[in-house]
Structures are given as C-alpha cells and as structure tokens.
A and B are shown apart, each in its own frame.
Chain A
Amino acid sequence: DARVTQTPRHKVTEMGQEVTMRCQPILGHNTVFWYRQTMMQGLELLAYFRNRAPLDDSGMPKDRFSAEMPDATLATLKIQPSEPRDSAVYFCASGLVQGGGTEAFFGQGTRLTVV
C-alpha cells in the first residue's frame, strides 16, 4: 500500500535550533508539496516541486526556511533558526500531475513544537 512517509512524526525543540523534516513521496509521483497547518491560518502551501525542481516557494519565509529534493525519494524542509511561531503541523504530499486533475496524497504530518 503506497503512502507518503514523513519523519519525525513529532518534534519538540528549543527556539533557535535547527529543525529538519523529511518526506518520502510515493514512488513514481512527480510532484511534492509542503504544507503547514495551524488553527489560525488553516492549511498553507509553503513550497512545491515538480520533477525535483522547485516551482513555487513563495509561501515560505525565505530567511529561515528552505526546501530541497536531493533525490526523487527524499524531500526535506529545514527551519533554521526555529521560532515559537513555527509551531504547527507540517504536511508533505505527493501526486502525479500529468494534466487535468489528480489527487495529492498526504503524509501523516510532522507536529512541530518550538518552545
């Protein structure tokens, strides 16, 4: 049963520390999304990749966030330095976009708490 895998599931860190979240997309999918979900803002798109190339990261605070896809099986989202306002659930999703509509399959999320 193919699924998107995110690690870690939970992360508690102190303000100022670096946080790296990892995502393994579904094999064969060509698009990877990073989302952040908070109670106040709902679901926000941070960045997405098509065939490992970043297409849009306008939703991401550039000074502290970075997203990469070092290979087709791994996407990373890094926060350095982390701040309490970064506390949220971070979702990775992947999909196969060939034209028309297609669903994005979500991972279980990383719940980040910055204290």
Chain B
Amino acid sequence: AQKITQTQPGMFVQEKEAVTLDCTYDTSDPSYGLFWYKQPSSGEMIFLIYQGSYDQQNATEGRYSLNFQKARKSANLVISASQLGDSAMYFCAMREAGGLNAGNNRKLIWGLGTSLAVNP
C-alpha cells in the first residue's frame, strides 16, 4: 500500500497567488517526520520544509508552510505568493521512527510528486 500519496499529478497557479499541494501519508508509527522537496528542471532535489509528528505548530519556512493535520494524516504544502521560479516537481516524503529495534535505520519514503506550473 502507498505510504505517501500525492493525488495531484499536475497543478497550475497564477503568479503571486497561493497554491496548496496535497500529501497524505499512512503510518502506524507515532513518531515520524514529514518532508517536502522541490525538483526544478535542472534535476537537483532541494529540501524545503520539515514537520515532526510531535511538533505543536505547523512548520513555516519563508513562503512555504506545511498544513499539518495529524488526525487526517495529511501534510499539505502551501506556497504563498508563487513565483515563476516555483515551477518544478514537488515531492512529499516521510521518515518513520521504526520502533525500538530500528535504531537510526530509518528511510525516507517518497510520494510520486506533483508537477507545479506557475503562469505569468
């Protein structure tokens, strides 16, 4: 079963408007972390924002914020005042704590990504 689901293969937004990219996750682990990465056409992967499962507040980093709804198991990325340079693929990922025997042996589990196009 998919652990990370990004239901929007592609999204479009007008420059300067806000856009929300959806991400839902599936885990029974009470301790986990959620990540968003951006991949522009140049191919590199750029870390954007992190949310821990025990964090009391939603994470924010500049124009990026994470709408974390734990009960719904969703971690949507909100980009405010979108810019042309925001056009890229966006990936949601999760790391589970893995239980007592996992130690630090935790992997990132990735969604398939959402392609965002910002229109001028």
Question: Which residues of A pack against B, CB within 8 Å?
Answer: 31, 33, 42-43, 45, 48, 50, 55-56, 89, 91, 93, 97, 99-109, 111
Name the interface residues of B32-74: CB closer than 8 Å to any CB of A. Answer: 33-35, 37, 42-47, 50-52
- Shortest CB–CB separation between residue B13 and chain A, in angstroms? 22
Q: Nearest CB to that of B36 among chain A residues?
A: A103
A48 to B11, CA, bound (A): 32
- The reply to whether B52 and A101 contact each other, CB–CB distance below 8 Å, is yes
- Quick one: given A99-B104, A100-B52, are A111 and B43 in contact (CB under 8 Å)? yes
- The reply to whether A93 and B45 contact each other, CB–CB distance below 8 Å, is yes
Q: Which 6 A-B pairs have the closest CB atoms?
A: A101-B33, A106-B45, A103-B47, A42-B112, A43-B110, A108-B44
Main secondary structure of the interface of B (DSSP, over half): strand
- The reply to whether B50 and A103 contact each other, CB–CB distance below 8 Å, is yes
Q: Find chain A residues with CB under 8 A from B51 CB.
A: 101
9 inter-chain pairs at a CB distance below 8 angstroms, sorted by A residue, are: A42-B113, A100-B52, A101-B35, A101-B50, A101-B95, A103-B35, A103-B50, A104-B47, A108-B44
The contact size tier of chain B is 20 to 34
Q: How many A-B residue pairs have CB under 8 A?
A: 54
Query: Does any Cβ of A come within 8 Å of B101's Cβ?
Result: no
- Quick one: given A97-B104, A100-B33, are A43 and B43 in contact (CB under 8 Å)? no
- Quick one: given A100-B52, A101-B50, A108-B43, are A45 and B104 in contact (CB under 8 Å)? no
Name the interface residues of B92-119: CB closer than 8 Å to any CB of A. Answer: 95, 104-108, 110-113
Q: Find chain A residues with CB under 8 A from B35 CB.
A: 101, 103-104
Query: Does any Cβ of A come within 8 Å of B91's Cβ?
Result: yes
- The reply to whether B47 and A48 contact each other, CB–CB distance below 8 Å, is no
- The reply to whether B44 and A106 contact each other, CB–CB distance below 8 Å, is yes
- The reply to whether B108 and A33 contact each other, CB–CB distance below 8 Å, is yes
- Shortest CB–CB separation between residue A88 and chain B, in angstroms? 11
Q: Find chain A residues with CB under 8 A from B43 CB.
A: 89, 108-109, 111
